[in-house]
A and B are shown apart, each in its own frame.
Chain A
């Protein structure tokens, strides 16, 4: 069974101050034009009601860390060694999907067509932050639900990151089966709508929540790392 959550934009929209940092507009000079655009875009997105996500919990039947394979009752996930290793101790796995919907992409494209690149950048950034916020809420809910039975959850990991090949989306979607989010994958295994996330969370009494994202990435040239340093 796929447990579904829906959100309004106001429930999961990014905090504006955090967003300004993410948009690289922390200084007064860059803040002025960006803040006006953020306000305008927020009002355009206010009535967005397509934010939907959730997860399916499956028994974790075996972990082959050397081969990087997680076996569950729904099939096999070739996650790679790193993500498979992070599942150590999991008795169950939650396979998740979440989308902010098509609105963000449609609005961004409309701005780009008009040559309003900054507006398009703001919309894209809000869309990315919104789907992550929605997924944070879902992950928190899952954690609370599992804590009630004495179980913990891992961090969340997605195909395309941490050595988990993007082609892993096919097995992931097959294991999830029917779901109401409307998210689909194309030939390149990319999701539609674009502002969507998918992946795995381990569940068990002894699993550990390890650092993720920038904390485990070695890139020295990444723009996001530079933002974090400045802030």
Chain B
């Protein structure tokens, strides 16, 4: 029964988007995440099961392989695209409430910083892990986070910075956010940061890589 679910998971894990997609070569000509998700729904698998049993575990494997240095950014982006091709079939079920998400994650690159590769990767992976992701983009002010929190009370915030000169913007931003939304949980990440810096600026956690973010996010809703 679970053969279809296993195959779908493999498609996401290895970045097989659809039948026409030539990548990976070992799966050439075979159905991809797009076709298999449709097939699984038609076969009667519940959308929640497809998400929980195929897509989320697959993206978890992708995140772990990235953490371990077994795959790099391109493979991760192909997996994210395969995940998206599956998610488009599940979208109606998110909208009608049949699929429950773990929570809302508001992510952005801090004010004064335009670097968004890490932020984008994290957003894609967190979405793949079952969270609703609100991506505020780059050069994001505290006001934009506050506005997003007004619309999504209780959401968790993620902040990214690549520059040592912009990571210092995080502390006043966290303070401003918590002044309007006390108790908001914040995770920070980016190349020049570390756990000690995150602690000093009042963040709840430091995400070394996307999977680290997911592990922490999942831990706070467990």
Complex Cα gap A222–B191 (Å): 5
Known interface pairs A117-B81, A190-B112, A224-B191; 15 further A-B residue pairs with C-beta atoms within 8 A, sorted by A's residue number: A24-B72, A24-B73, A25-B72, A30-B72, A115-B85, A117-B80, A117-B124, A124-B117, A160-B165, A161-B164, A166-B112, A166-B163, A186-B139, A189-B112, A223-B118
- B contacts, CB < 8 Å to A: 15, 22-25, 69, 71-75, 77-78, 80-81, 84-85, 111-112, 114, 117-118, 120, 124, 139, 163-166, 191-194, 208
Partner of A118, one of B69, B74, B112, B163: B74
19 A-B interface contacts by CB (under 8 A):
A24-B72, A24-B73, A29-B75, A30-B71, A30-B72, A30-B75, A33-B78, A115-B85, A117-B120, A118-B78, A121-B74, A159-B165, A161-B165, A164-B165, A188-B112, A188-B139, A221-B191, A221-B193, A226-B69
Complex Cα gap A7–B80 (Å): 35
Q: How far is the CB of A128 from chain B (nearest CB, A)?
A: 10
A interface, over-half SS? loop
Complex Cα gap A223–B115 (Å): 13
Q: How far is the CB of B180 from chain A (nearest CB, A)?
A: 21
Complex Cα gap A226–B67 (Å): 12
Complex Cα gap A46–B117 (Å): 24
Q: Given A33-B23, A116-B81, is A221 in contact with B194 using a C-beta cutoff of 8 Å?
A: yes
Please name the residue on chain B nearest to A34 by beta carbon: B74
* Mask: chain A, 6-50; 1 = CB below 8 Å from B; 0 = not: 000000000000000001110001101110000000000000000
Complex Cα gap A219–B193 (Å): 8
Check A118–B117 contact: CB distance below 8 A.
no
Complex Cα gap A222–B192 (Å): 7
Complex Cα gap A163–B165 (Å): 6
